[in-house]
Amino acid sequence: METVRVVSGAELGGAGLPSGRPVLVLVGGADGMPADDVDWLERVLRDLVPLLEQHRAVVVDGGTDVGVMRAVGRARAAAGGRFPLVGVIVEALAGQAETEPNHTHLVLVPGSAWGDEVAWLAEVASVVAGPRPSLTVLANGGAVAFDDAEQSLRLDRPLVVLRGTGRTADAIAGGADERSATLAGSPLTAVLDAEELRAHVEGVFSARPGGAG
């Protein structure tokens, strides 16, 4: 696993990360996501691995060995994936949680609390993608997942909310409150069932340069 430390966004371009490749940003549940749901999401994401390989895509997430990050790391390993898997973690907190071992790159960023990585994670995805398409997929999630979703839309990055995965994702899917309804109502947001995910990702990754993403 390659590890880099950055203190400014300007350093990301020289951090040795993959570049000019489609990006899937995965956010949502961490240690609050039930183990059975992590196992289910792993199976869903396993189905995406051939597509990620076909498009030479990169996945960017929070890097720790819990929740959605554990699911995608294990999905990559189980399906024999070789795509770069980039985790973004607040350096001051890196010792408080295990890093998911199937990640290929770890970016340590400034901050003092969980959630301080939100803007950094989104920026890493932008640097890696460059002019290529990108999208954010949100499954489950706590309070920080709302920030991740808002940051994605702020950067004009399409957002997929996986309906039925619990907590934040289901709040947004159901327009449970004003914040959720605003996110769900964005023209960049798609609320999908798991079986619709692969086709949607394929559509985004196949978009012409300058299109959505």
* HEC readout, the chain: CEEEECCCHHHHHHCCCCCCCCEEEEEECCCCCCHHHHHHHHHHHHCCHHHHHHCCCEEEECCECCHHHHHHHHHHHHCCCCCCEEEEEEHHHHHHCCECCCCCEEEEECCCCCCCCHHHHHHHHHHHHCCCCEEEEEECCCHHHHHHHHHHHHCCCCEEEECCCCHHHHHHHCCCCHHHHHHHCCCCEEEECHHHHHHHHHHHHCCCCCCCC
Residue 129's closest CA among 19, 205, 10? 19
Residue 116's Cβ-side half-sphere holds a number of Cα atoms within 13 Å equal to: 14
pLDDT at site 207: 83
Instruction: Please tell me the distance from the alpha carbon of residue 131 to that of residue 151, in angstroms, as a whole number.
Output: 18
Beta bridge partners of 135: 24
Query: What pTM was computed for the model?
Result: 0.96
Torsion angle of alpha carbons 113, 166, 190, 78, nearest 10°? 80
pLDDT at site 213: 41
pLDDT at site 209: 60
Beta bridge partners of 192: 162
Residue by residue, pLDDT tens for the chain (213 residues) are 999 999 999 999 999 999 999 999 999 999 999 999 999 999 999 999 999 999 999 999 999 999 999 999 999 999 999 999 999 999 999 989 999 999 999 999 999 999 999 999 999 999 999 999 999 999 999 999 999 999 999 999 999 999 999 999 999 999 999 999 999 999 999 999 999 999 999 999 998 664 444
